[in-house]
Structure 1
Amino acid sequence: MPLSPKSQALSALYRNCLFRSDDPVDTHEQVTEELSDHVIRWKNGAPDSALFKAELNHLSLYALQYGAQVEVTPRPFDGFTLVHTSLKGEVEIECDGTVMSVTEGRTAVLSPKRSVQLRWLPGTQQFIVKVPDALMLEVSGRSPDAALELTPGRLLPQALASQWDLIAQSLLNIVTQSGDGDIRGEWRDHFERNLALFLLVHQLPPAAAEAPLSLESASNAADARLQHGSAKQMEALLEYIDSRLCAPISLEDLARVAGVSFRTLNVMCRRHHGVTPMELLRNMRLEAARTRLLTEPSCSITDTALAFGFGHLGRFSAYYFARFNELPRDTQKRRQRCA
Structure 2
Amino acid sequence: MKIPEQRIQKQRYCPMKKDKVPFSQNIGVQSPDFEEARCFINSRIDDREVSPLSASGSAENLLTWQPLGGTTLFGAKWSEKVHIQSDAQSTFHAVMVLSGNIHCNTLNQDVAANSLLLIAPGKLADLVWEKSTRAVVISLSRQALIDHLGIPGLEFLRDTTTIVPDKHQDAQMLRNGIECLAQQHEICGGNIGLPVQKQWESLLVAQLSDQLRRPGMENPTILPGRIRLATEWILTHIREPISVCDLLRVTGASKRSLESGFRTHLNTTPAKFILCHKLKGVRKTLQSNPDISIGDAAFSYGFGHLSHFAKQYQNAFGELPSETVRQCRDAIFVLPKKARSGAK
Q: Normalising TM by the smaller chain, what interval?
A: 0.5 to 0.7
Distance 1:163 1:24, change over 3 A: closer
C-alpha distance in 2, partners of 1:178/1:108? 29
1:20 aligns with 2:35: no
CA contact (8 A) 1:171 1:188 kept: no
Aligned CA RMSD, in angstroms, stands at 3.6
Distance 1:51 1:24, change over 3 A: same
Q: Secondary structure in 1 aligned to 2:103?
A: strand
- The residue that corresponds to 1:111 in the other structure is 120
Q: Secondary structure in 2 aligned to 1:86?
A: strand
Distance 1:186 1:30, change over 3 A: closer
Once the two structures are superposed, the pairs formed by residues 128-139 of structure 1 within 5 Å of their partners are: 128-139=137-148
Distance 1:159 1:24, change over 3 A: closer
- The residue that corresponds to 1:84 in the other structure is 95
CA contact (8 A) 2:25 2:185 kept: no
Cα distance, 1:84 vs structure 2:
0.9
Distance 1:26 1:114, change over 3 A: same
Cα distance, 1:146 vs structure 2:
5.3
Once the two structures are superposed, the pairs formed by residues 1-339 of structure 1 within 5 Å of their partners are: 6-7=17-18, 13-45=23-55, 46=57, 48-78=60-90, 80-95=91-106, 98-143=107-152, 147-157=155-165, 158-160=167-169, 161-178=171-188, 186-211=195-220
C-alpha distance in 2, partners of 1:37/1:23? 17
C-alpha distance in 2, partners of 1:209/1:128? 25
C-alpha distance in 1, partners of 2:34/2:19? 30
Deviation string for 1:213-271 (max 9, x for gaps)?
99xxxxxxxxxxxxxxxxxxxxxxxxxxxxxxxxxxxxxxxxxxxxxxxxxxxxxxxxx
Deviation string for 1:162-198 (max 9, x for gaps)?
212222233334434559x99x755543332122123
TM-score of the aligned structures, taking structure 2 as reference length: 0.52
Q: Secondary structure in 2 aligned to 1:126?
A: strand
CA contact (8 A) 1:42 1:68 kept: yes
Distance 1:84 1:71, change over 3 A: same
C-alpha distance in 2, partners of 1:137/1:28? 29
CA contact (8 A) 1:171 1:192 kept: no
Deviation string for 1:118-144 (max 9, x for gaps)?
01111212112221121111112233x
CA contact (8 A) 1:40 1:71 kept: yes
Q: Percent identity?
A: 13
CA contact (8 A) 1:133 1:148 kept: no
C-alpha distance in 2, partners of 1:189/1:40? 30
Residue identity matched to 1:22: P
Q: Secondary structure in 2 aligned to 1:51?
A: strand
Residue identity matched to 1:150: R
Deviation string for 1:41-64 (max 9, x for gaps)?
221134631211111223212111
C-alpha distance in 1, partners of 2:78/2:21? 18
CA contact (8 A) 1:44 1:68 kept: yes
C-alpha distance in 2, partners of 1:24/1:187? 33
Q: Secondary structure in 2 aligned to 1:206?
A: coil
Structure with bigger helix share is 1
| Structure 1, unaligned runs of 5 or more | 215-303, 308-339
CA contact (8 A) 2:68 2:200 kept: no
C-alpha distance in 2, partners of 1:10/1:90? 15
C-alpha distance in 2, partners of 1:174/1:58? 18
Which has the bigger relative contact order, CA under 8 A and spacing at least 6? 2
